Amino acid sequence: MEIKKVAVLGAGLMGHGITQVAAQTAKYEVYMRDIKQEFIDNGMRMINDSLQRFLKKGEITEAEVNQVLIRIHPTLDLKEAVADADLIIEAVTENPELKKKVLAEADTLAQPDAIIATNTSSISITELASATHRPEKFAGMHFFNPPQLMKLIEIIRGAKTSDDTLNTIVEASKRMGKEPVVVKKDVAGFVVNRVLIPALNAAVALVDEGVATPEDIDKAIKLGLNWPMGPLTLLDYLGLDTTLAITEVMTKDLDPKYQANPLLRQMVRAGLLGRKSGKGFYDWKK
């Protein structure tokens, strides 16, 4: 099956980036749908800002910027977004019930052979697929933030995902300029978070136990393990609340050993969520 039109459901942090990559790199016609005009406007503003940065660096021309924007169709109408789409990528908030509601609606309005994918970072693909009548045409497409710059995509097979669906999504991902990693089993955390979350949790434990300062822990991991960013800085970027949510899914679905360190839970309760709240392990207001 050849992908020509893509629908992205959600214009937020991930949705606008996925829309841009699909329109800019893969040159697909893309319908970006959200539920409020302000969300759509904000998504388009972020796409514009990103395109201007590519333009300043000389990576694209003014004409190409205009072509990308012509290929993007922002809309509040779900039917308009999905009716002719060959691939529908759901990128709404990381909430199972909300995702299922959106996926069930999209499923009834989409053409019968359209593929539906979810950009979840932790929720079971099989569970989300059950909200549709096409579990064999459903898979996970976990983009990394920001999608415009990060090369990796995890493609996750649900219990009923067909080989055809998987292959089509791998090809579409490559066309979007991504390096796909196929996750053959639908397990919590997939590949990256399965390795990353325990590492981040261990860094929080070092702070909690007073072993070293956040600055020194970050410095040790950057220089000792050659990470581009220290684990506590990364936590502040990801959002402590998002990280806590992933630990809870992994604890419930996999093993109690993935349980969040008490300091992580306490900081989330205190609203110290990292960069988005202005303060986490570091002060971002400066």
Over the stretch 239-281, which tens digit does the pLDDT of each residue have?
999 899 889 989 999 999 999 999 999 999 999 999 989 999 9
Two tokens at 210?
């007073």
Question: Domain spanning 5-183 has what CATH number?
Answer: 3.40.50.720
Q: What are phi and psi of 162, to 5 degrees?
A: -80, 160
pTM: 0.90
Question: Domain spanning 194-277 has what CATH number?
Answer: 1.10.1040.10
Candidates 135, 194, 192, 134; CA nearest to 159 is 135
- Of the pLDDT bands very low, low, confident and very high (cuts 50, 70, 90), residue 54 is very high
Average pLDDT over the chain reads 96
Residues 76, 79: Cα–Cα separation, whole Å: 9
Residues 138, 155: Cα–Cα separation, whole Å: 11
Q: What is the pLDDT of residue 95?
A: 87
Q: What is the pLDDT of residue 166?
A: 98
Two tokens at 118?
């979810």
Percentage, residues of the chain above pLDDT 90: 93
Mean pLDDT throughout 141-163? 96
Residues 118, 156: Cα–Cα separation, whole Å: 9
Helices (H), the chain: 15-24, 37-56, 62-71, 78-82, 96-109, 125-129, 163-175, 192-208, 214-225, 231-238, 240-253, 262-269
Place of tokens 């960013």: 229
Q: What is the pLDDT of residues 94-115, one digit of tens each?
A: 889 999 999 999 999 999 999 9
How many helices, marked H, and strands, marked E, lie in the chain? 12, 8
Mean pLDDT throughout 4-13? 96
Residues 184, 170: Cα–Cα separation, whole Å: 13
Two tokens at 271?
């609203």
Q: What is the pLDDT of residue 87?
A: 98
Q: What is the pLDDT of residue 64?
A: 97
Q: What is the pLDDT of residue 94?
A: 84
Kindly list the domain boundaries of the chain, sorted by start residue. 5-183, 194-277
The set of catalytic residues is: 121, 142, 154, 193
Residue 121 has pLDDT above 90, yes or no: no
